[in-house]
């Protein structure tokens, strides 16, 4: 099934509007146990998604229905699918909205993506990771893809982009005569960002050694907690999601433009900016998943929402015209040094089992796998077990951030984030 | 009726077999998993509605697996013209050769593995179903879901959204080797009702779900969930935090299932044994739980969303007794891990879809029932909590740590529910302690199949889990 055939069928269908997303993925994968190849895989996948929009008879509501189809479907199948979609869309109508037009014109480079070379870079990098008798790679999995995506809409959008997406899954072990521990990490990126991943793995090895000697986390009741690893991204996603048109329209988020997001703020104030490009990110695109152009835009300045982001439907409902779904973002506003933020007493959490922030309620949770307890006298000791919990809507009132920043895939955030009054359940 | 098998797969079978046989000429093992699974998803909210043919498991494609020189390789594709078998064969061979060249250039060592068994075997299984997702009466279904959502909105004064989300998938899979031809088809469905409330800026959500190896007729049962869902969300608005500490707890079947899944589901996936990532390998035949604990895993040990006839490596479904009266008996195993460990596969080799690698994965993970009523169990608690509703979980198979995020806890004092609710609750601890303290199990049990499971933080597959109410001791925060 050719996209141009689908376009022809959709134009003939009488649909109010339509969108086609045709994604071709060519990927290579390599799975390792220690440094021995467990399995190698290749994939060549095309996925075509069609969304049809219909207008109600009174012109006051719009419904949409979506179908995915493989590239080998016949023209007759596509014709019947579109007919079904028009019927289905009429059953699920929402308040009226319109698709966006093409926006500003821009040039898209037809980048040549060599998955063989990127795979080779990953394999070489991992073979040369410095290990020793205590810390070593247990296993890792390398995923490298070249993705070509074309988005066409009835409103004149027709953009084709080609981009690399890579993923490295690592399991680092550390052992001594009494026991062995592991740390699990995922690295999303465009191509192989050797230095960033190598540096982070070196830190993970050091953490592994400390985890071997870690004591049980004491019960601290309410304590100051510093987030100094990728888990801090979950904290900042709460703010990014709170600025999403869908969240605001659905009343899941109370954020309003021009009004500070919290009262009685004692700590730093957040500035959050969407970025079109962030070096090393897996999310560098010219357009979002609906074909809307992405650009740099300040979404929140000093805790005051300045602009909302989001997809077509909810942006229309919110009266936002030039919105997009951001891939990359950066957070600034920190005023503190690392030393100030790690001044004890404070619990610096490095690894959780699965740190989570419920972006609707603001609840945070995580079982501690490794943290450092910084005492007031400057002593530091590794601890493990127990958990942190609390609610970010309250905790953000006393949130302090470092001026130093770190990039985790598509997010450039403060390297150290300190929250006061977090509940710490001990493991003792 | 018997679930129809995909006409598409039937039509491509001769071409795929030809390619499999050709590849066999210079490989020690060749198989092809072919999939064609169609679905239906309807999501009705008060402010946003959608409908789609995509679910978590809809897919169409083929993955070829080959073994040569003790190395396994796979090529997955959906771009093939099956009338041009020479062209497909040339593509597969070119991909295999290109990757082999890279592995040679990088001096990559191979984890050598034996050759999978390929004894002749034919199987054709079709599970019974009421209707197919492709044939569902969408006009009636959407009207019913809209009515449910509207009713929900009227039931609570703080309601800001009531979502009815249903999906149904018609699975067809075909596994071919030079000697084997296995085909299966079945339908599974799942539905979720969620209520979102907002009071003075405090937003809370609760949900209930149903699932089964049934067609869209399953959704008739959703109306019975509505009152509990709305009331559940409303009571979360008044729920306060729990005082951190260790408590006597009673887990509802949903939370029991989460514990089963995280504790001795992931903990005994035997591809983790191959990598030395699971402590369970050292505990086979040893005590890991109290006498009251028996646990099963397998596509045959319950009828729910992942109760297939054979897995994604062509191994017939099983029912493994993982824990018997507290003693760890066995893990679950995919085909390649079984070869490496010198054991038999258990029918647990699963892929996210044809384009993903097969790993050892769970199917139905279930605690066995006991002899007590829930009332007797509550009456036995001096001070503690009845834990209800699961949000998520995570395990540490290397250290047997567990994290369960639970929707709410109901306070129990002197053997009675006090009416006080705490939320949310995070339960953490050491698995043998948690299972070792299980002192009572209820007579009845339930299975839940509306969720998904990742391997680490990726490779999402359908799973089901459950069991009875359990009484144990847990650390809550």
- Cβ-in-10-Å burial (0-12, 13-18, 19+) of A199 comes to exposed
Residue contact B51–A124, C-beta within 8 A: no
**Close Cβ partners of A354 (under 8 Å, ≥ 6 residues apart):** A366, A367, B392, B394, B403, B457
Q: Which of B72, B81, B98 is nearest residue A39 as measured by Cβ atoms?
A: B72
Band the pLDDT of A131: cuts 50, 70, 90.
very high
Q: What is the pLDDT of residue B401?
A: 85
For residue A76, how many C-alpha atoms fall within 13 Å in the half-sphere facing its CB?
Answer: 0
Q: Which residues of chain A lie closer than 8 angstroms to B201, CB-CB?
A: 254, 393
DSSP annotation of A396 reads G
Report DSSP state, residue A292.
P
Chain B positions in Cβ-Cβ contact with residue A365 (cut-off 8 Å): 403, 405, 424, 426
Contact B400, B259 (CB under 8 A): no
Q: What is the least distance, in Å, from the CA of A18 to any CA of chain B? A: 14
Q: What is the dihedral angle through the alpha carbons of A81, A84, A86, A89, rounded to the nearest 10 degrees?
A: -110
Q: Which residues of B touch A186 (CB under 8 A)?
A: 456-458
Domain ranges across chain B: 7-106+123-237, 245-476
- DSSP 8-state assignment for residue A128: T
* pLDDT above 80: residue A109: no
Whole-number Cα distances in Å, B46 to A88, A115, B137: 18, 45, 21
Nearest Cβ partner of A41 from B111, B357, B398? B357
CB within 8 Å: A123 and B108: yes
Residue B372 Cα, gap to closest chain A Cα (Å) = 31
Q: What is the pLDDT of residues B225-246, one digit of tens each?
A: 999 999 999 999 999 999 999 9
* pLDDT of A110 strictly over 70: no
Q: What is the mean pLDDT of residues B118-129?
A: 97
Q: Is A136 on the interface with B (CB under 8 A)?
A: no
Smallest Cα distance from B475 to chain A, Å: 8
What percent of chain B lies above the pLDDT cut of 90? 91
What is the pLDDT confidence band of residue B397, given thresholds at 50, 70 and 90?
Answer: confident
Lowest mean pLDDT among A13-22, A394-403, B262-271: B262-271
A93 Cβ under 8 Å from any chain B Cβ: yes
pLDDT of residue A107: 62
The pLDDT of residue B79 is: 86
Task: Report percent pLDDT > 70 for chain B.
Answer: 100
pLDDT of residue A147: 96
**CA of B370, closest CA in chain A: separation in Å?**
30
Assigned CATH for A3-211:
3.30.2290.10
pLDDT in tens, A292-334: 999 999 999 999 999 999 999 999 999 998 899 999 999 999 9
Candidates B111, B269, B459, partner chain A, best to mutate (most A CBs within 10 A): B111
pLDDT single digits (tens) B335-346 = 999 999 999 999
Q: Is residue A65 less than 8 Å (CB to CB) from chain B?
A: yes
For domain B7-106+123-237, the CATH class is alpha beta
Which residues 237-266 on chain B approach chain A with CB closer than 8 angstroms?
A: 241, 244-245
> Crossing angle of helices B138-155/B226-237, nearest 10°?
40
The predicted complex's ipTM stands at 0.96
Mean confidence (pLDDT) of chain B: 96
Task: Kindly report the nearest CA distance between residue A318 and chain B, in angstroms.
Answer: 13
Question: For A78-87, A100-109, A242-251, which range has the lowest pLDDT when averaged over its residues?
Answer: A100-109
- In this predicted model, what pLDDT tens digit does every residue of B257-289 receive, in sequence order? 999 998 888 889 999 999 999 888 889 999 999
- From the candidates A40, A70, A361, which should be mutated to test the interface with B, based on the most B CB atoms within 10 A? A40
- Averaged pLDDT, B244-258: 96
Average pLDDT over every residue of A136-149: 97
**Mean pLDDT score of chain A, rounded to an integer?**
95
SS (H, E, C) chain B: CECCCCHHHHHHHHHHHHHHHHHHCCCCEEEEEEEEEEEEEEEECCCCEEEECCCCCCEEEEEEEEEECCEEEEEEECCCCCCCHHHHHHHHHHHHHHHHHHHHHCCCEECCCCCCCCCCEEEEEECECCCCHHHCCHHHHHHHHHHHHHHHHHHCCCEEEEEEEEEEEEEEEEEECCCEEEEEEEEEEEEEEEEEEEECCEEEEEEEEEEECCCHHHHHHHHHHHHHHHHHHHHHHCCECCCCEEEEEEECHHHHHHHHHHHHCHHHECHHHHCCCCHHHHHCCCECCCCCCCEEECCCCCCCCCCCCECCCCCECCCEEEEECCEECCCECCHHHHHHHCCCCCCCEECCCCCCCCEECCCEEEECCCCECHHHHHHCCCEEEEEEEEEEEEEECCCCEEEEEEEEEEEEECCEEEEEEECCEEEEEEHHHHHHCCCEEECCCEEECCCEEEECCEEEEECEEEECCEEEEEEEC
Of A44, A92, A182, the CB nearest to B277: A182
pLDDT at A104 over 70: no
Q: Residue B346 phi/psi, 5° resolution?
A: -110, 10
Residues 100-119 of chain A with CB under 8 A from chain B are 116, 119
CB A161 within 8 A of CB A152: no
Structure confidence at residue B263 (pLDDT): 87
| Of the candidate ranges A176-180, B70-74, B185-189, the one whose mean pLDDT is the lowest | A176-180
Q: What number of CA atoms fall less than 13 Å from residue A118's CA on the CB side?
A: 24
- Cβ pair B96:A28 closer than 8 A: no
What is the value of pTM for the model shown?
Answer: 0.96
Q: Residue A202 region, left (φ>0) first, then alpha (ψ -120 to 50), else beta?
A: alpha
The pLDDT tens digits of the residues spanning B132-144 come to: 999 999 999 999 9
Give the span between the Cα atoms of B258 and B268, in whole angstroms.
15
Phi, psi (rounded to 5 degrees) for A211: -65, -30
pLDDT of A216 strictly over 70: yes
CA distance B274 to A230: 29
For testing contact with chain B, the best of A31, A360, A365, A366 (most B CBs within 10 A): A365
Q: How confident is the model at residue A105 (pLDDT cuts 50, 70, 90)?
A: low
Is B304 within 8 Å of chain A by CB?
A: no
Residue B80 confidence (pLDDT): 85
CA–CA dist A293, A281 (Å, integer): 17
**pLDDT (average), residues A20-37:** 97
- A394 and chain B: CB distance < 8 Å anywhere? no
Residue B203 structure tokens: 């937003």
Residues of B in contact with A123 (CB under 8 A): 102, 106, 108
> Quick check: B341 contacting A, CB < 8 Å?
no
Average pLDDT (B74-102) is 96
Residue B400 predicted with pLDDT over 90: no
**Which chain A residue has its CA at the smallest distance from B244's CA?**
A425
B360 closest CA partner among A38, A353, A123? A38
Taking the Cβ of residue A80 and every Cβ of chain B, the question of whether any pair is shorter than 8 Å is answered with no
Residue B410's CB is within 10 A of a number of other CB atoms, namely: 21
A376 near B CB under 8 A: no
**Interface contact flag, A186 B42, Cβ < 8 Å:** no
Domain ranges of chain A: 3-211, 215-425
Residue A1 has pLDDT above 80, yes or no: no
Can you give the pLDDT at residue B267? 84
Average of pLDDT values for B364-381?
A: 97
B261: tokens are: 């899944």
CA distance B261 to chain A (A): 15
Backbone angles phi, psi at A101, to 5 degrees: -85, -175
């Amino acid at each position: 099934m050719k996209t141009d055939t689908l376009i022809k069928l959709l134009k003939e269908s009488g649909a109010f509007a339509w969108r086609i997303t045709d994604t071709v993925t060519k990927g290579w994968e390599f799975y390792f146990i220690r440094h021995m190849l467990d399995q190698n895989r290749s994939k060549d996948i095309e996925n075509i998604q069609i969304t049809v929009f219909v207008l109600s008879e009174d012109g006051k509501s719009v419904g949409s229905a979506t179908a995915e189809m493989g590239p080998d479907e016949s023209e007759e199948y596509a014709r019947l699918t579109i007919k079904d979609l028009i019927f289905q869309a009429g059953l699920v109508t929402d308040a009226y909205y319109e698709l966006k037009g093409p926006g500003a014109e821009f040039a898209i480079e037809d980048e040549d993506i060599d998955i063989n070379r990127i795979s080779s870079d990953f394999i070489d990098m991992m073979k040369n990771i410095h290990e020793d008798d205590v810390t070593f790679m247990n296993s890792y999995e390398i995923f490298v893809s070249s993705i070509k995506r074309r988005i066409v809409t009835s409103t004149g959008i027709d953009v084709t982009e080609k981009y690399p997406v890579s993923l490295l899954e690592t399991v680092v072990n550390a052992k001594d005569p009494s026991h062995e521990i592991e740390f699990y990490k995922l690295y999303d990126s465009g191509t192989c960002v050797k230095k960033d991943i190598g540096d982070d793995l070196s830190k993970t090895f050091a953490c592994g050694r400390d985890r071997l000697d870690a004591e049980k986390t004491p019960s601290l009741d309410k304590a100051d907690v510093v987030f100094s690893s990728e888990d801090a991204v979950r904290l900042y996603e709460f703010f990014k999601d709170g600025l999403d048109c869908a969240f605001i329209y659905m009343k899941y988020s109370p954020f309003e433009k021009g009004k500070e997001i919290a009262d009685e703020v004692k700590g730093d104030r957040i500035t959050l900016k969407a970025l079109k490009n962030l070096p090393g990110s897996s999310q560098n695109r010219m357009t979002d998943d609906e074909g809307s152009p992405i650009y740099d835009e300040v979404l929140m300045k000093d805790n005051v929402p300045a602009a909302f982001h989001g997809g077509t439907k909810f942006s229309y409902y919110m009266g936002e015209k030039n919105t997009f779904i951001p891939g990359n973002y950066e957070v600034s506003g920190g005023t503190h040094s690392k030393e100030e933020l790690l001044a004890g007493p404070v619990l610096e959490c490095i690894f959780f089992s699965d740190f989570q922030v419920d972006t609707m309620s603001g609840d945070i949770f995580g079982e501690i796998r490794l943290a450092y307890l910084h005492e007031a006298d400057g002593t530091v000791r590794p601890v493990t077990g127990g958990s942190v919990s609390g609610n970010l809507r309250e905790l953000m009132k006393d949130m302090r951030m470092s001026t130093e920043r770190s990039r985790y895939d598509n997010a450039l955030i403060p390297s150290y984030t300190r929250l006061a009054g977090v509940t710490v359940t001990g493991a003792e | 009726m018997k679930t129809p098998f995909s006409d598409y797969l039937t039509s491509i079978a001769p071409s795929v077999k030809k390619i499999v046989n050709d590849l066999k000429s210079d490989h020690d093992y060749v198989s092809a998993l072919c999939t064609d699974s169609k679905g239906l998803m309807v999501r009705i909210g008060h402010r946003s509605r959608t409908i789609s043919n995509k679910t978590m498991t809809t897919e169409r494609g083929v993955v070829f697996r080959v073994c040569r020189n003790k190395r396994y390789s796979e090529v997955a594709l959906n771009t093939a013209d099956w009338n041009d078998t020479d062209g497909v064969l040339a593509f597969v061979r070119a991909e295999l050769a290109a990757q082999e060249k890279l592995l040679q250039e990088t001096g990559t060592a191979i984890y050598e593995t034996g050759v999978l068994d390929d004894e002749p075997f034919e199987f054709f299984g079709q599970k019974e179903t009421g209707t197919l997702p492709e044939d569902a009466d969408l006009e009636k279904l959407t009207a019913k879901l809209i009515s449910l959502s509207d009713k929900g909105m009227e039931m609570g004064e703080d309601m800001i959204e009531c979502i009815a989300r249903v999906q149904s998938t018609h699975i067809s899979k075909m596994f071919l080797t030079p000697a084997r031809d296995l085909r299966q088809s079945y339908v599974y469905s799942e539905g979720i009702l969620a209520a979102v409330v907002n009071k003075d800026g405090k937003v809370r959500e609760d949900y209930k779900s149903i699932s089964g190896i049934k067609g869209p007729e399953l959704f008739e049962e959703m109306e019975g969930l509505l009152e509990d869902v709305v009331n559940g969300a409303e009571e979360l608005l008044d729920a306060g935090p729990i005082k951190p500490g260790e408590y006597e707890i009673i887990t509802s079947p949903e939370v029991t299932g989460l514990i089963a899944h995280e504790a001795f589901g992931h903990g005994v996936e035997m591809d983790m044994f191959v990598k030395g990532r699971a402590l369970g390998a050292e505990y086979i035949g040893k005590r890991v739980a109290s006498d009251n604990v028996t646990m099963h895993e397998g596509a045959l040990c319950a009828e729910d969303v992942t109760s297939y006839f054979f897995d994604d490596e062509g191994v017939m479904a099983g029912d493994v007794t993982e824990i018997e009266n507290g003693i760890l008996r066995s893990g679950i195993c995919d085909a390649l891990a079984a070869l490496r460990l010198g054991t038999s596969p258990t029918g647990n080799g699963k892929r996210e879809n044809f384009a993903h690698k097969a790993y050892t994965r769970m199917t139905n993970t279930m605690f066995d029932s006991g002899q007590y009523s829930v009332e007797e169990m509550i009456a036995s608690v001096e001070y503690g909590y009845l834990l209800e509703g699961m949000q998520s979980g995570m395990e540490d198979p290397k250290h047997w740590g567990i994290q369960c995020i639970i929707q709410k806890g109901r306070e129990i004092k002197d053997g009675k529910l006090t009416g006080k609710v705490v939320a949310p609750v995070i339960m953490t601890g050491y698995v043998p302690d948690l299972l070792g303290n299980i002192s009572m199990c209820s007579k009845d049990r339930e299975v839940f199949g509306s969720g998904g499971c990742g391997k680490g933080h990726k490779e999402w597959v359908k799973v089901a889990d459950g069991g009875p109410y359990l009484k144990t001791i847990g650390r809550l925060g």
